[in-house]
Chain A
């Protein structure tokens, strides 16, 4: 119930294309869904996050789409650039419990070809 399933494991996109990464969850207590970007040898950086009361959130070229009934959410990177090449992790946090730690997906290694 705590799992967050992420796909694909790796993704190769041409410059200017759209990168789409998907995540699915089972735990209905999750109420916060962030996406993190991680470059090699660096810590994850918060990219964008959404709460289940909205179906979409857009920040620049990054958009989260959220489907509460299907328990799925996805990250769309528009006009993908070589500088976007990194590993992306989705995550989810439960509204229950005192610690409220994040549960991470397995990660997607994105390569944007020039």
Chain B
């Protein structure tokens, strides 16, 4: 089946530093990738949609200068949280849309803790 990986699975960083999260589709090419944020016991909140080779489309209320997304290839997208603050602590999940019938597969998530 389609596999999406994320790295790292957990990261702790100090306030003011930047953190990069990688998302890879391992066995398929993903023209579209999505980044979600999830708070405890809540649903997934879409942050942005990225297409390979073009700028990401951010959802309303998501700061594009704070959450930098790069979809450099058909198998790799990265999310960089710049100048992280404790309120950025969350569970970040990427997702990739596969080939027809265009199922959407999720990565295992990255737990970010900003101290």
Contact = CB atoms under 8 A, between A and B. Distances in A.
Given A36-B106, A49-B103, A99-B32, A44 B44 contact: yes
17 contacts: A32-B102, A34-B103, A34-B104, A36-B106, A41-B91, A42-B109, A43-B106, A44-B44, A44-B106, A46-B105, A46-B106, A99-B49, A104-B43, A106-B43, A107-B41, A107-B42, A107-B43
Chain A interface size, under 10 / 10 to 19 / 20 to 34 / 35 or more? 20 to 34
B111 to A, nearest CB: 7
Contacts of A45: 106
Chain B interface bracket (under 10, 10 to 19, 20 to 34, 35 or more):
20 to 34
B44 A101 contact: no
B49 A104 contact: no
Contact of B111 (A32, A34, A41, A89): A41
Interface string A94-111: 000001111011110100
In the A-B complex, the 6 residue pairs with the closest CB atoms? A43-B106, A43-B109, A99-B49, A43-B108, A44-B106, A104-B43
Interface of B: 4, 6, 32, 34, 41-44, 46, 49, 57, 91, 93, 95, 97, 102-109, 111
Consensus secondary structure, chain B interface: strand
A43 to B, nearest CB: 4
Interface of A: 32, 34, 36, 41-46, 49, 89, 93, 99-102, 104-107, 109
Given A43-B6, A43-B109, A102 B43 contact: no
